Structure 1
Amino acid sequence: MTHQLIEKSLKEISDAINLGFGTCLKELKLLADRMVAVEKKVGITNRGGSSDDRQLTTTSNPPKPANEPGVSTKTSPKIAEKRVTRQSVRKSQD
């Protein structure tokens, strides 16, 4: 390789690194902007420090999550029957 080819290759590498670094800086800026927006939405008032130092402010009680349709919170009879069976087996082993 000639001196000119080496310089050209190094310049191309340098340009690629600069382009990548610039892209990285842009992404970091966008991420910081998104974090600020989320912090405002959630109500974080204290920036910096550990997560224990952050304070959440709420103006009202947060809404309770609604149950998903088609999902039951009751125990099915089959599961209840298995529990009873396991409990009776444990008692008989003691």
Structure 2
Amino acid sequence: MKKLCMLAAVSGTLFLTGCQTPYSPGMIYSDMAAPVDVRDNTVACTKEGSATMQNYLGFLATGDASTAAAKQDAGITKVGTVDVKFMNILGLYGKTTTSVCGE
């Protein structure tokens, strides 16, 4: 019985460590932003566009959070930077927003 409990404890510990992502989301609530790409540091940030997608229950995702959609939102032709923001509540609702800054 002790061996079975020890095996369960070790297995559970290994299961919880899993794969670590570059960004560490919270299990209950996450709201974080991260840089994605820097294309050209000489491009002035005179316009900023964003595009959003939403995820419900991990089964249904809708929207367009692509860089192209964010560029189109603000009429950007030269991209300076691209950032992404993630928001997640208990895995029940998630939102991803891509922001593009440029001219």
TM-score class normalised by the smaller sequence = 0.3 to 0.5
TM-score of the aligned structures, taking structure 1 as reference length: 0.35
Higher-RCO chain (CA-CA 8 Å, sequence separation at least 6): 2
Higher Cα Rg: structure 1 or 2? Answer: 1
Larger % of helix: which? 1
Larger % of strand: which? 2
